[in-house]
Amino acid sequence: MKKKLITRSVVPNLLTLGNIFCGFTAIIYISNGDFRVGTIYIIMAAVFDMLDGVVARLLQATSEIGAELDSLCDAVSFGVAPSFMLYKAYFEQFGEIGILFSSFPALAGVLRLARFNVQLTSFEDKLFFKGLPTPAGALTIISFVMFYLNESFFDANTTRILIFTIPLIVSLAMVSTIRFDNLPRPSLKSFKANPLMFIGVVLAIIVGIITGGKSVFPTMLLYMVVAIIRNLFSKISEIKNNS
C-alpha cells in the first residue's frame, strides 16, 4: 500500500517541482531586468501550485512529504521571487536598507508557511486560511510592480508611498491570524460548495485577461480588504456576545 502511494505521488510531486523551477527561472529573468517574463513564470508557478493539489487528491496521493515539498517550493516562488522583484524594481537604490525592506514578503511568507505546516491537521481543502496565502501575496506584489510601478501609473509621491506600504501590508497580512477565503479549485465539487466564490474567481480571471493584467492588483486588494472587514465584524460580534 505504501509503495503504491509513493508511486502515485510521483506525478503531483513533479508538478510541485515545476512550481519551484518556475520560481527559480523567474528570479533569473528578474535579475536580468526582464520583469515581464519573470511575472509570467511566477504566475506559472501558481498554476503548478494549484495543479499539484488537484492531481494529488484525484490520485489519492496526498502525503506529509508532499505538503512539506509544496511549502518549500512556495517559499521560493511566492516569497523570494517577489521580494527579489521588489528589490530590483525599486529598493536596490537604497543599499542595505533596500535589501532589508524588500525581504519582508519573503520573511513573512516563510513564517506563514512554517505555521501552516505545524497546524496542518488534514489534507482536505479548507474553506479558510489563517493569514494571507503566499500565492495571493505574490500576485499582489508582482501585479503592482509590473502594471503600476513600471508603467508609472501614479505620480511620484503616490508611487513612493505605495511601494513602501504595499509590501508591508502584504507581509503583515501573511503572518496575521485573519481568515482568508480559500480560492476554489477548478472542479464541479468546488462549484457546488461555493458557487458565488467560484463565479467571482472566474470573472476575476476573465477581467484580468481583458485588462491585460491591470485588474489583478485592485482585485487582490479587494480580496484582502473584504477579509479584514469580515474579521473586524467578527471580533466586534464576539465582544458583544461576551459582554
Q: How high is the pLDDT of residue 73?
A: 94
pLDDT bucket at 1, cuts 50 / 70 / 90: very low
Question: What percent of the chain clears pLDDT 90, i.e. is strictly above it?
Answer: 54
pTM over cut 0.85: yes
Residue 7 has pLDDT above 70, yes or no: no
Residue 2 has pLDDT above 60, yes or no: no
Distances (CA, A) of 169 to 29, 137, 140, 154, 190: 26, 10, 10, 19, 29
Residue 58 has pLDDT above 90, yes or no: no
For the record, the C-alpha cell of 150 comes out as 513600471
Residue 3 has pLDDT above 80, yes or no: no
pLDDT bucket at 97, cuts 50 / 70 / 90: very high
Contact criterion met (CB below 8 Å) for 206 and 215: no
DSSP 211: T
Residues in the chain: 243
Termini Cα distance of the chain: 54
Mean pLDDT of 61-80: 88
